[in-house]
Chains A and B, each alone.
Chain A
């Protein structure tokens, strides 16, 4: 279709006067929207009261486990779509991808709204879960790979900025959803249907703004005054590997394990922050909620801070730091419960979660160092399957362990201790995986794209 030509990659190549500092807002416009997925839990209770409005009617209303699948399906689809469509993303360019992401993510909201109106859970699975999940995957990788290409001098800071937006998306999406539901709530409606429709429209406008702002650098472009280091760094390749070649290397799978372990360990706290704080220290639900809010801020800030710091330290060193310090801090959490020190608990967990966010944000820069920039989006897309898996299995494992402990007579306040030690072990396993990451072997060199 000729009128859609303006979306093509070749129509988005920036001219010589283009300022690259327009790119971070373009990336943030998309990530701040799709990051809403992290705040989806605010819809859980209303979704169980679509029929009963003020209470859930057994047998007629949906249950929490049924509703919980919406989030899980969306995250699974995020990983799958990023992995499968990564090459398409690199081929068609960021503008078409970001617009496709907006259509899928916001279309998913509209289909989910229909599911609420018809009271058919499978329509919501299909809408927010499958279609919206594809939008998440496309919207996650396209801005990141574009930023990496625009900031060869500061790739960690660039990816940190974009992925910080994803963390910040929950900070906006959750209260935004709550406000909308409160506004539209009536005697006959929980306000969900209307909230989904408004969110679809607002997010579409915002994501389209990002899509029209985005540009790709011209071939051979480099920032003014930037000269690539004449002394090659051992862990930074000068070559560009295809996604097919990259995903066959041990380095790719080591980084897959690094991301998977980092996410699983972080979710150990994030997934049940509020409840954990209440059970360990006997604080009120409001204080527990405040703790969860604080961790969201640490998660968002850590994405930018630690990823930017990796430009100075190198990627391998900073991951070693995340994993080692993270393991030590996790092992100290039970001590804070023993001495009943809430400030110490908050400090330690906030630091852990900031490094969890840092681990997320530094991964694309690590991939860029090892495999070059040409297909970093597609390679990142395949790696994201690690996140999907950890995000679905991690909370299940943590829930299972703490429930098992309580069922076997361990007090609620001490039930999280084993989980904390397990998280420390997972981080140590991540440390070992990171230790084995070496520059991509010479035998892959003939397979450059």
Chain B
């Protein structure tokens, strides 16, 4: 008996589960890096 194909929804949900926290972490780092960009653009 052939095993069922993996649902694309399951794949999308699995990716979402890891990209949401990762995206939050990237956003936090960008916020932290803002003073650097401001300092560079002010020079």
- How far, in Å, is B10 (CB) from chain A's closest CB? 7
Candidates A172, A293, A346; contact of B24 at CB < 8 Å: A172
Residues of B within 8 A of A17 (CB): 2-6
Interface bracket on A: 35 or more
- Closest-by-CB residue of B relative to A170 is B25
- How far, in Å, is A262 (CB) from chain B's closest CB? 23
Q: Is the CB of A25 within 8 A of B17?
A: yes
**Interface: A220 (CB within 8 A):** no
**Bound-state Cα–Cα, A343 to B36, Å:** 9
- Closest-by-CB residue of A relative to B18 is A28
Interface centre among A25, A213, A289, A297, by most chain B C-beta atoms within 10 angstroms, is: A25
Q: Is the CB of B33 within 8 A of A171?
A: no
CB-CB under 8 A for A346 and B40, given A168-B25, A171-B29: yes
Q: Is the CB of A297 within 8 A of B30?
A: yes
Describe A's contact surface by its main secondary structure. helix
Q: Is the CB of B17 within 8 A of A290?
A: no
- How far, in Å, is B18 (CB) from chain A's closest CB? 4
Q: Is the CB of B3 within 8 A of A171?
A: no
Of residues 1 to 40 in B, which have CB atoms within 8 Å of A's CB atoms? 2-6, 10-11, 14-15, 17-18, 21-22, 24-26, 28-30, 32-37, 39-40
- Closest-by-CB residue of B relative to A343 is B40
Q: Is the CB of B18 within 8 A of A25?
A: yes
Residues of B within 8 A of A297 (CB): 26, 29-30, 33
Q: Is the CB of A25 within 8 A of B35?
A: no
Residues of A within 8 A of B5 (CB): 17, 19
Residues of B within 8 A of A24 (CB): 15
Residues of A within 8 A of B17 (CB): 25, 29, 209
**Interface: A175 (CB within 8 A):** yes
CB-CB under 8 A for A32 and B26, given A290-B33, A290-B34, A346-B40: no
**Interface: A65 (CB within 8 A):** no
Candidates B3, B10, B32, B40; contact of A289 at CB < 8 Å: B32
Interface centre among A206, A292, A293, by most chain B C-beta atoms within 10 angstroms, is: A293
**Interface: A123 (CB within 8 A):** no
- Closest-by-CB residue of B relative to A16 is B3
**Bound-state Cα–Cα, A95 to B29, Å:** 32
- How far, in Å, is A151 (CB) from chain B's closest CB? 15
Interface mask (A294-316 → B, CB under 8 Å = 1, otherwise 0): 10110010000000000000000
- How far, in Å, is A177 (CB) from chain B's closest CB? 11
Q: Is the CB of B22 within 8 A of A293?
A: no
- How far, in Å, is A176 (CB) from chain B's closest CB? 8
- Closest-by-CB residue of B relative to A15 is B3
Residues of B within 8 A of A287 (CB): 35-36, 39
- How far, in Å, is B37 (CB) from chain A's closest CB? 7
**Bound-state Cα–Cα, A343 to B39, Å:** 10
20 contacts between A and B (CB under 8 A): A15-B2, A16-B3, A19-B11, A24-B15, A25-B11, A25-B17, A165-B18, A165-B22, A168-B22, A171-B29, A172-B24, A286-B35, A287-B35, A287-B36, A290-B39, A294-B36, A297-B26, A297-B29, A300-B26, A342-B39
A25-B18, A290-B37, A293-B30 are known contacts; what are 5 more A-B pairs with Cβ within 8 Å?
Answer: A165-B22, A172-B24, A206-B21, A286-B35, A297-B30
